[in-house]
Structures are given as C-alpha cells and as structure tokens.
Amino acid sequence: MMTQPVDRRKQTGDLGEELAVHYLEQLGYLIKERNWRCRSGEIDLIARLGDQLIFVEVRTRSSSSRFGTAAESVSYRKQNKVRQTAQVYLTMSAIVNTPIRFDVITVMLNKDRSAKQIDHYKNAF
C-alpha cells in the first residue's frame, strides 16, 4: 500500500486556521463557517461578532519567509476573489442588511509548530 506524501503547506495552513479560530473564539467571535467553498473560491473563516459578519483570510508562515510577510501575501487579486466569494455566500444564505467586513489574520509558527505571533488586521480590505 502506497502512502500519500505529506503536504506540509496544507498542514501548516490547517494549523494556522485552527490557531486563528481559537484566537477569535477567545475574543468572543462565533465561527459560522470554516473553509466555505463555492465555484468562485474559498473563504477560510466566516465569523460573527455582534451584528457584524466577518470574512477572514488566514495566512500562516512557519518561519521568516524570504517571500515577504504573511500579510503581504494577500494580493489585490486574492482580495477580489474573497469579495466575490463573500457575495456568493451572502446571496446563497439570503443575508441582507448585515454589516460585513474583511479581516486578515496572520499566524507565525515556532519551530515546534506552536503560535509565535498572531496578528489580526480588521477591515484589511
């Protein structure tokens, strides 16, 4: 029996999302959806805080990257994709007249895969 190679990037991303969920829940956010997908894309987390619906893009790095910061990796193209996907979610869920915002959470991991730093950018785009 052949085993699948371990996708380290996916594991790192999943761990970052788990840490982001824990972080948001500690702040009183209610996580409504994780990895919500449709044809136009995927939203990592959809949360509610009070009457506001928050679409969250989570970016995780396992070390200081030579490819820029995690926050810098949320390109203009990615922002548009998240916006389009959020519109599909709102339409499919029949959500109207609800304040929304788009946040970015970046997670930097230690070598032991624990959270070194979590940064939360509210109204990031």
**pLDDT at 5 exceeding the cut of 60:** no
Closest CA to 53 of 21, 90, 85: 90
| 108 domain residue, yes or no | yes
Number of domains in the chain: 1
| 1 domain residue, yes or no | no
| 3 domain residue, yes or no | no
Q: Which residues on neighbouring strands pair with residue 54, listed in sequence order?
A: 47, 101
Q: Do residues 113 and 15 lie in contact, with contact meaning Cβ atoms separated by under 8 Å?
A: yes
Residue 110 structural domain: 8-121
Closest CA to 31 of 39, 19, 41: 19
**pLDDT at 13 exceeding the cut of 60:** yes
CATH of the domain at 115: 3.40.1350.10
| 63 domain residue, yes or no | yes
Q: Which residue has the tokens 């200081």?
A: 64
Report the share of the chain in percent with pLDDT over 70.
Answer: 90
Q: What is the pTM (predicted TM-score) of this model?
A: 0.88
| 25 domain residue, yes or no | yes
**How many helices (H) and strands (E) would you count in the chain?**
2, 5
List pLDDT tens digits, range 65-123: 566 677 778 889 999 999 999 999 999 999 999 999 999 999 999 888 888 999 999 99
